[in-house]
Amino acid sequence: MSGNGRVPLWGPASGAGWSGAPAPRVPTPGAAVELLGASRWYGNVVAVNDISFVLGGGVTGLLGPNGAGKSTILHMLAGLLQPSDGLVNIHGAPSWRNPTVYRDVGLVPERESVHSFLTGFEFAQLNARLQRLPDPDGAARHAIEMVGLTEAADRAVGTYSKGMRQRAKIAGALVHDPSILLLDEPFNGMDPRQRLQMMELLGRMAEAGRVILFSSHILEEVERLAQNVLVIVSGRLAAAGDFREIRRLMTDRPHTFTLRSSDDRRLAAALVGHPSVFGVQLDGGRLAVRTSDYAGFARALPVIARAGEVSIWELRPTDEDLESVFGYLVQR
Amino acid sequence: MTGAPPSGLAPALPPASRPTAASGRRSVILTIAALTARSLLSRRRSLLLALLATLPVAVAALVRLSGRAGIDDEAVATAIMDRLIVTTLLPIVGLVFGTAVLGAELEDGTAIFLLIKPIARWRIVVAKLLVAVGLSIVFVAPASFVAAAILQVGGPGWSGAIGAAVGTAVGATVYATVFFALSLVTGRALAFGLIYVLVWEGVLAGLLAGIRALSIRQYTLGITDAITHPGVTNPNLLDLPAALVLSGVSIVIAAVIAVRRLSSYQIGQADD
Amino acid sequence: MTAGGHRMTTGPSPAGSIYDIGYRRYEGPRLGRRHAFTTLFVGALRAAYGVGRPARAKILPAFCLVLPAIVAVIIVAMNAFAARFGVSGLSQIPDHPDMASAVGLFATILVAVQAPELLGRDVRYRVLSLYFSRALLRADYALAKLAGLSLAVVVLLLVPHAILTVGKVLLTSDIAGALGREAGAWPAILGSVVLTAAATAGVALVVAAYITRRAYATVTVFALFIVPGIIVLVIMGLDLGSASRWVVLLDLGTVLDAANAWFFGVAPSPPVWPKTGLPAVLGVITACVIALGAGGILVQRYRTIAA
């Protein structure tokens, strides 16, 4: 990455509001994208809870389980939702009720949102015209070329595959060369090849100096594409920063497995002796094992079982879903 | 993420130096209007409305061709001009186009790309209203004119046909604008629109004369009657100035509501 | 409990094999087609009144249910005033036979708005295949929806009759006699209401089955219930000869009015039907044909619809 004055990603606002007077909300100068104490609630349901961060370039992944509030954040940034509290700024100006920010912002919504009778080119051209570009045809052609849809440019969007429709939406979002690109679950429903193409495209655009923020609930997608990650759980910012660091924190946590075997008691006794295991519990016909070393345990278990002549009938991780990974992060 | 950017990739320009073309300030409204008209007319279902619109003309022609045995001329003309055109066709057309131009697009997500453009929201409202009103007039006023001309409403001469055309054109404008605003206020604009037409205008306005001032149907009838029978005042109908003023006020109020609603439009909670 | 304790220690077989990774068969009882039908039927009935949907989906059905009740209460009040002040011309007050024309509009609104809601959602969200891959037959799906919406209309139409019956019974000192008279009216009430409900719900669902876009389906139903009546009125006003009188059978409103008159043994409402000189029972027959025909078309549509 070339150093283009990237403002480092900031973590959550440091406990402002709970002790003493709330800290004054001062926007960061020069920030392309900034949330400052932003919250959004629907009636009694809080979708986004006091989130602050600053983005200044490169690809950032907005990671979180379904319903965590990722779309709410993107919609607030795109001026399609009013923050209930706090600031949501694009280049220092609030995005709510401020259509001028759309000169600098491109949004790729999650829903299918292109009239199916338009061709890919017509859709890009339409976006260019609505952006009042001086040469809408040229801009549209350029955008179509960038997403690799030139071959299919004159076919109706209704005949496109899901991946092509996604690329048509992206072409429409970047036809005016926005400095900020927001994408809501851009990889949903794509096959592996389309995913790869999309990742390359987003990577290229980031290299060209854009701020790219995309949401996903799939760890691997974020891992492959994003340098920075914002982890959202239940509307709160659970982790923020360099992806590798976050990833390390996620894997070096205790794992729990449940086992059923021909002789739980004997197996439990044998397992306690192994260094990777630091907790064993016998509970109603089930054996729960806690380990801090995932790989070591996986290698040791068959050996221990065979030595003790115990047949293992069932082995399952109890907390391998994304929610529990996030849950662990939130507890810390 | 290393290596030179591929060729053909424009470097991102800082926001300030981006070309902000003064050209096409006017054409944005036309661009939106053209797209909207295309999306409404390119489908089979507008054929259904066209069919409905030609029905009064066909029935009027049938009446004329049948030679008429000379009984209750007035009743037949009323059935066609009032019940078929003003009471049924007019609100249906206004309801369909008023709610389809933007309300339906917000619902299915196709309007989002419009909202995320550096365009003042009132321009979007104007563009959409142009289409809703224009199409409503096109689907009703000519049919109304021809049917009235065939039936010789208001005696020989063109006053009946002109009255019918002008009255329904104004009515179409008010209906389309009001239902357009309604579609931005509630997701169930169609249901409330139907209740307004069937219950408020259809039943209550017949029972309580005071409601006439709040009935688009009565504006239409008032204007039509005033042009058809100039100089004759019908005590059961609104007079021309009242009908015109009330129509104008309705249009302005509805348009203002629409702009306000769209300016603070918030996307539905389709979160994640 | 599955067997398979030895599986994990078995080496891989040379030719390849399917491993037992613990999926278990469901061996318990299955509720079957009848239960699926009932569930869908109850679901349709609930959906018609917005039960289990957000509050804004309940506004319109509630409106359609409450206004007829208010109409009935007003009629009871008129009866009360007539009895109190001894006003003559008691027969002017609407009674059971007039109820259909007084509240029929609300049945129209309910089916016009809710029929597309009942059928359109499953098509729009492409979940029809989920229904058809279960115990349910395609015809069951169509018939359950028809039965659900029909019952919803029956309820809507019966409520004002019930209020009127209760009111009339309570207004008199001769309760036993009034009960007897009212009980005598109920077979006609039930016949008329069930036939009306089946025909209107059937026609609305057929429209909704072919037009998936909600707005257009609603408007089409609305037009279908109103426009033919006007055309028939015009044509009957033209005196085109005796053959033209059969066009009345094309208007559901006129047909149902005649059927209603036949059930209650009164004359069909002027001006259209009396002018034709056709017997009122023809209204019953035509309404039955329309109801059955609509059901048949609906079933046929769902036999062939792409799921």
Query: What ranges do the domains of chain A cover?
Result: 33-248, 252-331
- Give the pLDDT band (50/70/90) at residue C251: very high
Q: How many domains does chain C have?
A: 1
pTM for the model:
0.84
Do the domain assignments include residue C302?
Answer: no
For residue B111, what is the nearest residue in chain A, using CA coordinates? A113
Do the domain assignments include residue C20?
Answer: no
ipTM of the complex: 0.86
**Was domain A252-331 assigned CATH 3.30.70.100?**
yes
For chain B, the straight-line distance linking the first and the last C-alpha, in angstroms and rounded, comes to: 28
One-letter amino acid of A312: I
Which structural domain, as residue segments, surrounds residue B163? 51-263
Spatial CA neighbour of C213 closest among C119, C72, C109: C119
Say if residues C116 and C205 touch (Cβ distance below 8 Å). no
What pLDDT is attached to residue B6? 40
Do the domain assignments include residue C268?
Answer: no
Please state, in angstroms and rounded to a whole number, the distance separating the CA atoms of residues A67 and A187.
17
Q: Which residues in chain A are contacts of B19 at CB distance < 8 A?
A: 133-134
What pLDDT is attached to residue B270? 38
Nearest C-alpha of chain A: how many angstroms from C129? 19
What pLDDT is attached to residue C159? 97
Do the domain assignments include residue B13?
Answer: no
CB contact under 8 A, B35 and A126: yes
Q: What is the pLDDT of residues B98-154, one digit of tens each?
A: 999 999 899 888 999 999 999 999 999 999 999 999 999 999 999 999 999 998 888
CB contact under 8 A, A311 and C8: yes
Do the domain assignments include residue C16?
Answer: no
CB contact under 8 A, C223 and B71: no
Secondary structure of residue C302 in the 3-state scheme:
helix
Question: Which residues of chain B fall below pLDDT 70?
Answer: 1-26, 68-73, 269-272
CB contact under 8 A, A311 and C22: no
What pLDDT is attached to residue B13? 41
Q: Which residues in chain C are contacts of B88 at CB distance < 8 A?
A: 223, 226-227, 230
Q: Best interface-test mutation with B: which of C106, C108, C230 has the largest number of B CBs within 10 A?
A: C230
Do the domain assignments include residue C287?
Answer: no
CB contact under 8 A, A311 and C6: yes
Q: Which residues in chain A are contacts of B115 at CB distance < 8 A?
A: 80
Q: Best-predicted range by mean pLDDT among A298-307, C90-99, C106-115?
A: C106-115
Q: Which residue has better confidence, C170 or A3?
A: C170
- A99 to chain B, any CB pair closer than 8 A? The answer is yes
Give CA angle at C296 (C295, C297), nearest 5°: 95
Residue A267's contacts (CB-CB under 8 Å, 6 or more residues apart) are: A259, A261, A287, A304, A305, A308, A310, A312
Q: Which residue has better confidence, A258 or C67?
A: C67
| DSSP states along C244-295 | GGGGGGG-HHHHHHHHHHHHHT-PPPTTHHHHHT--THHHHHHHHHHHHHHH
Instruction: Please state the three-class secondary structure of C267-279 as a single string.
Output: CCCCCHHHHHCCC
How confident is the model over C57-76, as a mean pLDDT? 93
Do the domain assignments include residue C101?
Answer: yes
How confident is the model over C212-237, as a mean pLDDT? 90
Secondary structure of residue B138 in the 3-state scheme:
helix
- A3 to chain B, any CB pair closer than 8 A? The answer is no
Q: Which residues in chain B are contacts of A63 at CB distance < 8 A?
A: none
Do the domain assignments include residue C200?
Answer: yes
CB contact under 8 A, B96 and C219: yes
Q: How many domains does chain B have?
A: 1
Per CATH, A33-248 and A252-331 having the same topology is answered no
Do the domain assignments include residue C266?
Answer: no
Q: What is the residue-level pLDDT of chain A in tens, covering all 332 positions?
A: 333 333 345 433 333 333 344 556 788 888 899 999 999 998 888 999 999 999 988 999 998 888 889 999 999 999 999 999 999 999 999 999 999 999 999 999 998 789 999 999 999 999 999 999 999 999 999 999 988 899 999 999 999 988 899 999 999 999 999 999 999 999 887 788 888 888 888 898 899 889 999 998 887 788 888 888 898 888 888 888 887 777 667 666 677 888 888 888 889 988 888 888 888 888 777 888 888 777 788 888 888 889 888 888 888 877 555 556 666 665 54
For residue A314, what is the nearest residue in chain C, using CA coordinates? C22
Task: State the CATH architecture for A33-248.
Answer: 3-Layer(aba) Sandwich (3.40)
Say if residues B131 and B101 touch (Cβ distance below 8 Å). yes
What pLDDT is attached to residue C220? 92
